[in-house]
Amino acid sequence: MADDMLRVEELEAVLPSMTRWRVPGGRGVDWAALEVDLGSALPSDFRSLAEAYPVLVFGGFLKVSVPRPGAEALWASESREDEILQDLYEMGDTEGYVPFPQSGGLISWAESDSGDSFYWRTSPADPDAWPVVVRGDNGDWSEFPVGAVEFLTGVYRRTIHVPGMPRDFPSDSPEVLGLSDRID
């Protein structure tokens, strides 16, 4: 867990505007309940990010979807029932990727405002070894051998290039917004 917080701190160093949204003492996500509902454990770097921050929107473009305390079952359900991915899969438009809960299936953790999707490929068995897979709105599929937090750090450091993204992604000095944990 300490290594995972170091990864979160590296992301904060690249995007200092995100630190204003950090929740002191953690958010209190019920990971045990979420993972039972989902049918899988999740990567520890993502868990560290989700404990420290609410849903984050980077540069008005990229939204990282973390579970809200009290709404873990909803997050798990949305992850299991990705209709867009399922439709693409049924049309044979996923370049061999499959939806979760199939073995090695994709679980979404972020999306862009232009229709790009960011997933984990749930293989190998250890969630901390799951690579990030990106489906660009233009149909490009790319895989990166890093976790979600390291991926975000690399993108905003400009050491990871994601094919098919808009030319202005990532923007210079993107503002990071946090969305409320309130459940209405």
The C-alpha atoms of residue 176 and residue 56 are separated, in whole angstroms, by 7
CATH code, domain carrying 122: 3.40.1580
What percent of the chain clears pLDDT 70, i.e. is strictly above it? 96
What's the pLDDT score for residue 184?
45
Per-residue pLDDT tens for 107-118?
A: 999 999 999 999
Overall domain count for the chain = 1
Q: What does the block give as tokens for 106?
A: 């994709």
- Domain assignment present for 157: yes
- Domain assignment present for 109: yes
- Domain assignment present for 67: yes
- Domain assignment present for 140: yes
Q: What are phi and psi of 44, to 5 degrees?
A: -70, -30
What's the pLDDT score for residue 152?
96
Q: Mean pLDDT in the chain?
A: 92
| Residue 32 structural domain | 2-178
Per-residue pLDDT tens for 116-169?
A: 999 999 999 999 999 999 999 888 999 999 999 999 999 999 999 999 888 788
